Structure 1
């Protein structure tokens, strides 16, 4: 299906936003663990593996 391809190849915007928020909260000395967990749950750590993915791996 089309949506499967988009979900697998898309950029995890929400996860990255949560990860950036976690870094900002960490630097401010506030509670940051919750934001890091949300970033993980929404796929923010997938950004680090984007360069290693094959374009034809799912086909």
Structure 2
């Protein structure tokens, strides 16, 4: 069973990876504001899915 510190770390990791992908795309000249928003939304979605699975495991 994961504790809250592990969950916080994993959620932060998803956000960091989303921002890193966004910055990489912008440096290469292929990024735009839309792709930045999409990367952040994908990171948030992954974090929400992970949090939902964690809650389901705690209920079981």
TM-score under structure 2 length normalisation:
0.43
TM-score scaled by structure 1? 0.43
